[in-house]
Amino acid sequence: MLRALLLVILPIALPTLLYLVYLKFLKRPAAASGAEPTEAEERARQRALFWVVLATAVMAVAAFASLRLSGGVAPGVKLEAPRLIDGKIVPSRPVE
């Protein structure tokens, strides 16, 4: 579960959460009075969204690369499934 959290959920959720925090602190006084955002402010928001999407993509690629490079067994090796023996979980292992 921790591996799924670190390698899948976190790379997707972290940039989005950072962007939402950024938007929360970006509120300007004119927005409270109902004024329309200026053209420069609108472009700044669009640029920020671009960087969030880019950061999400980079983190996802890094997560997939770490999965690929994090050991395991060679392709084609048969694995014995995990089992429950006497109340203990015996992890999977390569079969000779």
> Residue-wise over 68-95: b if at least 16 C-beta within 10 A, else e?
eeeeeeeeeeeeeeeeeeeeeeeeeeee
Q: Give the per-residue pLDDT at 84.
A: 94
Per-residue pLDDT for 92 more than 80?
Answer: yes
CA distances from 91 to 1, 57, 67, 78, 87 (A): 15, 33, 19, 14, 13
Q: For the whole prediction, is pTM greater than 0.75?
A: no
Q: How sure is the predictor about 31, in pLDDT bands with cuts at 50, 70 and 90?
A: low
Q: Give the per-residue pLDDT at 45.
A: 73
Domain, as residue range, for 72: 2-94
User: Quick one: tokens of 19?
Assistant: 């962007």
pLDDT tens figures, 39-88:
877 787 778 778 888 888 888 888 888 878 877 777 888 999 999 999 99
Q: What's the number of domains the chain is made of? A: 1
Q: Give the per-residue pLDDT at 65.
A: 87
